[in-house]
A and B are shown apart, each in its own frame.
Chain A
């Protein structure tokens, strides 16, 4: 059974700092890994999707990397801003069993202080 862990559970940083959020998964047989952002009282917004054959994806100040063999992904946020404050979730789509199922981590709550 796939399990996804996100560390740390919460992170508070001053504005302008570069930061890394971590995601690990127990079964390396995945199709892809997706990073989401969730604002309080809102749904999830997809940030980046990395296919299993890719090593990284970039969007603006965000860079996500994937090391499938070690079961790890990182989300790098450059020059953080107060507007980046949210919960960040990673989710993996495993290649075994139901390949429509996303397994989510519990998220990292990020606070960027002005």
Chain B
């Protein structure tokens, strides 16, 4: 039972480099989310995808893009990495119905990203 799988687990980038964080879930959830977790800031929503084919900005979307590739996969891209994007990134998924999510969100183990 894999749940939510994130790759890579760790990554070090130089300022200006680009990369894509991958996320896949095997629970047939329709909604997926990307968060970042920073010390003293808690978790903040970057982007979410309520259902396949839709994406929306969260609280801190600047500097990021997302793609909902299919129902299982939701990727997060940093086009030009900046030191301020050093963080731990979490992907989550949940089942949503009737326009609002009532089921618990399930989280991956995170990607630890350092930007030098």
Contact = CB atoms under 8 A, between A and B. Distances in A.
Interface of A: 4, 31-32, 34, 36, 41-46, 49, 51, 89, 91, 93, 98-102, 104-107
A46 B105 contact: yes
Contacts of A104: 42-44
Nearest to A48: B104
Interface stretch (B11-19, B62-70, B74-82, B94-102): B94-102
Contacts of B33: 100
A51 B31 CA distance: 19
B61 interface: no
B109 A43 contact: yes
B53 interface: no
Is chain B's binding surface mostly helix, strand, loop or mixed? strand
A42 B109 CA distance: 5
Contact of B43 (A49, A51, A89, A99): A89
Given A100-B31, A100-B50, A106-B42, A49 B104 contact: yes
Contacts of B44: 104
Given A99-B100, A100-B100, A101-B45, A43 B107 contact: yes
B101 A45 contact: no
B42 A100 contact: no
Contacts of A44: 43, 90, 92, 105, 107
Contacts of A89: 42-43
Nearest to A51: B102
